[in-house]
Amino acid sequence: MKPPHRYSGANAAGGLRHWRSLDELSDTPEFRQWLEREFPENASDWLDAERDGLGRRRFLSLMGASLALAGFAGCSLRSREKIVPYVAQPEEIVPGRPLYYATAMPLRGYGRGIIVETQMGRPVKIEGNPAHPDSLGATDAVMQAAVLELWNPDRSQTPMFQGGISDWGQFESELLAVMAKMSAADGEGMAILTEASTSPTLQRQRAAWLAKFPKARWYWGGGGSPIPKLPPAGADFGKADLIVSIGCDIFADQPGSLRFTRQFAKRRRVENGRVNPNRLYVLESTPTITGSMADHRLAAPPDRIAAVLRWANGRGDEVLDPAEQTFARNLAADLAAHRANSIVIAGETEPDQIRSLAESMGAGKNSQSLPEDELATLCGDLAGGHVQNLFILGGNPAYNSPAALGFADHLRKATFTVHLGHYYDETSRQCRWHLPQTHFLEEWSDILASGGTPTIIQPVIDPLYAGKSIHEVLSLLTGTFRPSGYDIVRATWGASGKGDFGTFWDQSVHDGIVAGAPPAAAPGARAAGDAVATPAPSGAPAIPPPALTPGADYLLIRPDPAVGDGRWADNGWLQEMPKPMTKLTWDNAAILSPAMARRHGLGTGDMIDLHAGGRSVRAPVMVLPGQADRCVTVHLGYGRTVAGKVGSNRGFSAYPLQDAHSPWCLAGLEIRKAEGTYELATTQHHFSMEGRDIVRVAGVDEFRANPEFAAPKLPHPPSLLPAAPPLHHHATYAWGLTVDLSTCTGCAACVIACQAENNIPYVGKEQVAAGREMHWIRIDRYFEGAPENPAMLNQPVLCMHCENAPCEVVCPVAATVHNDEGLNTMIYNRCVGTRYCSNNCPYKVRRFNFLEYSPPPDSAEAQGENPNVTVRRRGVMEKCTYCVQRINLSRIAAELDNRRIRDGEIQTACQQACPAEAIVFGNLLDPGSRVSRRKKEPVNYGLLTELNTRPRTTYLARIRNPFSTKESA
Amino acid sequence: MAEESAGTPKGVQRDAISTRLPQVFLPRANLFYRAFLLAIPFGALVGGYTWYRLCRSPDITEVRMPIGQPVMFSHRHHVGDLKIDCRYCHTSAEKSSFAGVPSTQICMSCHSQLFTDSPLLEPVRESAAAGRPIAWNRVHNLPDYVYFNHSIHVNKGVGCTTCHGAVNEMPLMMKTQTLFMEWCLQCHRDPARTQRPDSEIYSVSWEPGPKQGETGAALALKHHLDSEHLTNCSVCHR
């Protein structure tokens, strides 16, 4: 095991302008090792050798035996492949061509419109629905990963009765007896717990159920993420001149994040050499991608955030340190100048004092259309014996609720407990019955966007297992047996009194959005306000929020950027996605600032005990620049015990630390060093490019004075590569790509989109730690300035498709060659795995299959693979292809119509997913194409062009808009 | 190591050992050895040639080896005698990568009226009645890393019989070409040699004429075929 990295503080001031980690800044030996080797030491060794008892000798003897037996293996005949046509072919299916369906993905109660690609009936890829206001054609990482969730073989497949396999018939017969009793008692003692949702059908069914059982209770709640608070309707992050985010991850965590990113990017993009950026202030305690986009960012603990806000508001007699003072003075001046055209937004996880301060700064009040979490009330009612029959429809509250509530213990007091869920999880195991729930790609439902636009969720595949949707189960609970989800959802919309319902329905389902207002039964504003019979909370009396004690240490709890509140813990793509700011995979950690770590003598990988509110949890430390001093951030979603093969027993659970009344921020944290160390698999050093001038950034004033700051016309040093490679002048297309660093938020949607499109496997924590991750696109995170309060930058790096490709000249078998359109292509069936190409790539974008990572062809996960991309085997090199399969399919489509490929017709997977439209791909031989115009911008530059590699992928330098004193004068 | 090999065993005379050694090799041993040395290159040549021939033998390539099917379907009868167009059954050849194998329903569109009691058609009737598809044996099978697209070939002057042979003479379907990459490249390097007019794509009787060189080149130009592009690896491998 590697020793924990310790930040010595050396070299912090001088040297690098941009750095990726504290190790790089202080140039530790560990960092040199990552830097100088193509793959880390022992990367090609058998990692599990010791565990498996497979030493070198045993390996050699096994190899010898298998070599001797290989001759026999050659004698077997290949089994003949079968072609199995339909009995009656559906009209719309053309074998070999995809079909697309519009639907929506529910996320934290709201829907994001998506378009699902199915190949011969199998959903394989999710894209955003351009017509949907919360998607606009973009997706985030979680939406991209939903396909893997569908095909996950760990999903619950059958009803379970007290831990044994059962079926729906047995459940229904027991339910009948219970319902008969309940009908007589008007539902006294019966309750439903479900996660808050804007689904109109769910609201309608709720009203019907409560009408039938007037004394029954309905509780919303049970999710581990905060209830979204929406910015005022009409808030446009592109039109506002001033945006102030107070601990709010505008670009990642909001139901409208994709739209906000799109709006913001429009304002920050350099177009035709000009830009008129707005200004983003971010005041936060823990680094977020919004913070990385800030023009001014201040990392401060909650009490200091409140002090800075009071000062900026002109109400405080606070004493601020110099950094805080600069920030507060700039903010106050900007607020005075732009108050009319500003957005001040505070995160849901911020303490109430800070939220109300933000509101007093001229921020419109953020609205909340979802009801408050009522899990605490339910716990009180269970304890009081008011609930005997409890139906938990969706969610996993036994895991993802504050352990202080003791939900799992209270649950045992109910006699008849039923859990409907996607997995046989922590909650299921506490219940009498577990029922499998359908995935959203398998069911009929409906949901609203954050702005109120409804979408009808349609199934794109029949349920793979014996699942039923929440609507079908609710229908069972109101006495309709064998209900169909289709009829239930149609009934909701049929009541809306549209003229020709058939046409209306077909159009709405086809478009993925419903024109006009949702039906009357839908929750226009508040869903909980119209409670039919929910009694007043019988829980504890309201407790005032804890004070923001000055000088205290704070514990901050946040949903994980990848696995959320734990619901995506069994998704390998999300587990392995390097988390946007920490670059951590497969784990969570206690995140400390460098100063705090130094005070306590801690380094990354040390174990500590976190004590807060009388509770304690042991966690590994991660030292992260940009983290506010005196704050320890822990992410939820880990420490699952029964998540599945991928998600179980990873990291630690932060729910035991969570306070029921102040779940996101606790003052009075104590940390104590504990025994042992822990290896965290971060990708922050992997594929580093040695401090060269990779990421370029300037203030808007500097840009206006010298628009070509990023690409100075300097004579290049001599290169071994030819001056200009022979161009294929007869070719019609020359593909190229640009990445705009001014708009890229580093959200990692492209990473997962690429993974889904190109059948990239996930490899597991041990393999990531050995530098074997397979992502074709990585997002390098750079810090700038002092480690205490750095600015942050993100740079996606993919294959540069160099015209003078250094990888090609070293391949002994010509497995990587250029095509006439400028793609550096990788021919898997030729590759013998020498890895010379990777060694010779200055951008470190090539990935090697050290082991057989891809799922076996007959596994459920393999059903979700893209049939248009080769599945790579062990011993093969791979890398970004510019989505050559999309190029080829578009070319064939264009050639069939006897025309050229139109600009914008081909979108690479990363480009299509990007909410900021930061990635542009197209034909460089067409001077009018978008990519050609992007490349003509003065801020366009290539990486390591001094090597004369002539990369086809180029970058547009980042333009910041810091406050300048000229403006205030 | 170095110290051990440098010294000699103590107390033993070197000369004494060498004189006592028996003759293990017969005088003929050198001959065997020379013959063996000669046999190595010869064996490599023979082995290489055998391997080369074996890979191209019908046992491996299945060329002209009819493949049995669950239904003894005859292309000779349906195409040769009845002159049914290819696209009647292979419905997606013009618009998709996959030409399409007919659904049971397509078989039954005729055979619900014709030969309704033929025992040969029992599997088809059974499939239609039970709703269970027929599992045909694949005859033309490309490796999974090759992405062949029917639509672009039939729309760009490559006829069915160019690759599939004279199916109108085959009682049972068989390959007539190896489907090796060298075979694919013959046309991708020189598309003109097999280009035919758009009207003749589905013809089973079309043969290249004496002026194929000229007409083919003209057609290749019309179809935007450029051998430099067509020989890119990424055209077929992705």
Q: Which amino acid, residue A163?
A: G
Q: What is the model's pTM?
A: 0.90
pLDDT of residue A584: 94
Instruction: Report in angstroms the alpha-carbon separations of A542 from A355, A377, A613, A689.
Output: 18, 11, 18, 54
Closest residue in B to A879 (Cα) is B238
User: Which chain A positions have a beta carbon within 8 Å of B235's beta carbon?
Assistant: 819, 888
| CA dist., res. A839 & res. A196, Å (int) | 51
What DSSP element (H or E) covers A310? helix A302-312
In a mutagenesis test of the B interface, which of A75, A79, A89, A898 is the best target, namely the one with the most B β-carbons within 10 Å?
A89
Query: Out of A96, A819, A881, whose CB is closest to B232?
Result: A819
The reply to whether residue B134 touches residue A81, judged by beta carbons under 8 angstroms, is no
Q: Do B96 and A97 touch (CB under 8 A)?
A: yes
What are the structure tokens assigned to A924, written together?
């460089």
Number of helices (H), then strands (E), in chain A: 28, 39
A94, B95: Cβ pair inside 8 Å? yes
Q: Is there a contact between A425 and A451 (Cβ–Cβ < 8 Å)?
A: no
Rounded to the nearest angstrom, the minimum Cα separation between B6 and chain A is 30
Contact A827 B237 (CB under 8 A): yes
Q: Does A94 contact chain B (CB < 8 Å)?
A: yes
Determine, for residues A95 and B103 on separate chains, whether the beta-carbon distance falls below 8 Å: no
Check CB contact of B59 with chain A, cutoff 8 Å: no
Q: Which residues of B touch A869 (CB under 8 A)?
A: 238
In chain A, the residue whose alpha carbon lies closest to the alpha carbon of B237 is A827
Cβ–Cβ gap B97/A823 under 8 Å: no
Nearest to B151 by CA among A259, A430, A892: A892
Residue A97 distance to chain B (closest CA, Å):
6
A120 reaches B (C-beta below 8 A): no
Give CA–CA dist A491/B95, Å, rounded: 39
Chain A residues near residue B124 by CB distance under 8 angstroms:
none
Between helix A322-338 and helix A302-312 the angle, nearest 10°, is 50
User: Max Cα separation, chain B?
Assistant: 104
From chain A, the residues in CB contact with B131 under 8 A are 87
Across the interface, whether the CB atoms of B151 and A731 are under 8 A apart is answered: no
Contact A579, A562 (CB under 8 A): yes
Minimum distance, in Å, between the CA of residue A166 and any CA atom of chain B? 29
CB contact under 8 Å between A95 and B105, yes or no, is no
Backbone φ and ψ for B12, nearest 5 degrees, come out as -115, 135
CB A404 within 8 A of CB A615: yes
Helix (H, G, I), strand (E, B) or coil at A327: helix
B181 interaction partners in chain A (CB closer than 8 Å): none
Q: Considering all CA atoms of chain A, what is the largest pairwise distance in Å, rounded to the nearest integer?
A: 90
Q: What is the pLDDT of residue A13?
A: 38
Residue in B98, B103, B228 nearest the CB of A89 = B103
- Tokens representing residue A969 in the block: 């004068």
Residues of A in contact with B156 (CB under 8 A): 895
Contacts of A825 in chain B (CB under 8 A): 232-234, 237
Asked if B25 is an interface residue toward chain A (Cβ–Cβ < 8 A), one would say no
For chain A, how far is it from start to end, CA to CA, in angstroms?
57
Q: Which pair of structure tokens corresponds to residue A30?
A: 């560990």
Residues of A in contact with B152 (CB under 8 A): 892, 895-896
- Residues in B closer than 8 angstroms to A82, CB to CB, are 135-138
Which chain B residues contact residue A760 at CB under 8 A?
none
- The CA-atom distances, in angstroms, between A695 and each of A84, A941, B76 are 53, 10, 67
Beta strands A953-956 and A940-941, pairing class: antiparallel
More confident residue, B2 or B231: B231
pLDDT digits (tens, 9 = 90+) for A349-402: 998 888 888 888 866 667 778 888 899 999 999 999 999 999 999 999 999 999
Give the burial class of A92: count Cβ atoms within 10 A of its Cβ; 0-12 exposed, 13-18 middle, 19 or more buried: exposed
- Could B147 and A868 be called an inter-chain contact, meaning their C-beta atoms sit closer than 8 Å? yes
Question: Which B residues, 164 through 203, put their C-beta within 8 Å of a C-beta on chain A?
Answer: none
Q: Which residues of chain A have pLDDT under 70?
A: 1-16, 32-54, 70-78, 315-316, 362-365, 495-498, 517-547, 685-692, 713-730, 965-969
Q: Is B127 on the interface with A (CB under 8 A)?
A: yes
Contact across the interface for B237 and A823, Cβ inside 8 Å: no
Q: Do B133 and A84 touch (CB under 8 A)?
A: yes
Q: Does B68 touch chain A (CB under 8 A)?
A: no
CB within 8 Å: B233 and A97? no
pLDDT tens digits, A317-326: 778 888 898 9
CA B213 to CA B203: how far, in whole Å?
20
A112: three-class secondary structure by DSSP: strand
Residue in A87, A818, A869 to test binding to B, most B beta-carbons within 10 Å: A87
Strand partners, A736: A922
B141 exposure class (CB count in 10 Å sphere: 0-12, 13-18, 19+): middle
Question: Is B158 part of the contact surface with chain A (CB cutoff 8 Å)?
Answer: no
Distances (CA, A) of A311 to A242, A570, A620, A904, B88: 18, 45, 36, 49, 80
**Alpha-carbon span A60 to A249, nearest angstrom:** 53
Cα–chain center distance at B206: 23
Q: Do A96 and B234 touch (CB under 8 A)?
A: no
Separation in Å, CA of B147 to nearest CA in chain A = 7
Partners of A888 on chain B (C-beta within 8 Å) are: 147, 234-235, 238
From CA A408, how far away is CA A220, in angstroms rounded?
A: 17
Of A95, A820, A888, the CB nearest to B228: A820
Name every chain B residue with its beta carbon within 8 A of the beta carbon of A881: 234, 238
Nearest CB to B131; choose among A87, A888, A896: A87
pLDDT in tens, B97-119: 999 999 999 999 999 999 999 99
Q: Which helix (H) or strand (E) holds A607?
A: strand A606-612
d(CA A933, CA A526): 47
What's the CA gap between B229 and B236, in Å, rounded? 11
Residue B234 has its nearest CB partner, among A88, A96, A819, at: A819
A728 contacts A821 by C-beta, under 8 angstroms: yes
Estimate to the nearest angstrom the gap between the alpha carbon of A310 and the chain centroid: 34
Do A246 and A309 meet the contact criterion of CB atoms below 8 Å apart? yes
Cβ of residue B222 closer than 8 Å to a chain A Cβ: no
Question: What residues of chain A lie within 8 A of the CB of B101, using their CB?
Answer: 83, 85
A899 touches chain B (CB under 8 A): no
Query: What are the b/e assignments for A130-168, b being 16+ CB within 10 Å?
Result: ebbbbbbbbbbbbbbbbbbbbbbebbbeebbeeeeebeb
Dihedral (Cα; A640, A641, A643, A644), 10-degree rounding:
140
Strands A615-623 and A606-612, by their bridges, are antiparallel
CB contacts under 8 A, A 834-893 vs B, are 868-871, 881, 884-885, 888, 892
CB contact under 8 A, B103 and A825: no
- Taking Cα atoms as reference points, which of A410, A387, A390 lies closest to residue A398? A410
Respond yes or no on whether ipTM tops 0.95. Answer: no
